[in-house]
Structure 1
Amino acid sequence: MQQSVADLGVAFKNFFDSCKGKRKGRNVKSPRFKKRSNKQSARLTRRGFSIQGDGVYLAKIGVVKPIWSRALPLTKGHATRTDPSSVTIIKDCSNSYFLSFVVDIEPVKVHAKNQSIGIDLGIKTFALIE
């Protein structure tokens, strides 16, 4: 509930700033209710969840034991894992639940022999920057 109220506050701020001309870009429409459909989601911030061993504690739900598709990344130079900043709980139309974590990681530097960059601009054009 708290995250929903925070998201609504940001949406109204963007709407009113857009009406007053304080916000760059095209005008933002007023916030609308989230439609209830077969796909539902909820986002929890750091205070709403914690990782406990192989389980995840979710506020108002309790500890769930997910099937991990991959391990959370480790902190660079340490054996401890990086703490996620938020988790999104997604329920799809087949009543399956998924947890999606947001984790800050260090970017990987790749040393390439060829320093050219190719950008795909669609089917008809291709840009190459050297």
Structure 2
Amino acid sequence: MPQAWVTFDLQPKKEGHSLVQSYAAHDVVMLAECIIEETSLRVYKSSMDVHRNFCGACGSTLTWASDDNEKAGYGPILDLTVGTLDRDSILKVKPDRVGLWNDGIPWIRELLRNGDEGLVVNQEAIVSVVVEDV
């Protein structure tokens, strides 16, 4: 299970209520009853020891957690969808293993192996300018 300092900020599902609430990671992964009632987060138990959390509104995968791997000698596993982490969280975490490498998309595997060498890097991305057909 995740470290105690890991929290999830979830938006309440009530109409007109936009205040984000923080929840402990254990409560999110194991899906405490209050989270089911207050948010759109849902869980699917794909096997006895595996919990898959997803957004009940859009279906996006959020976490995959397994307790079973303690028997295999490498402890519990929590996979997080990286796109759900804020910048501060990404700076605190670092992966400790790669799973299913051979199933990965080739250009992404190449990027992970070689870094951004050969890519055009735009240091000053301007995203507010709209380019129109002339």
Question: TM-score normalised to the size of structure 2?
Answer: 0.28
Larger Rg: 1
Name the structure with the higher helix share. 2
Question: TM-score normalised to the size of structure 1?
Answer: 0.28
Name the structure with the higher strand share. 1
Larger RCO: 1 or 2 (CA < 8 Å, sep 6+): 1
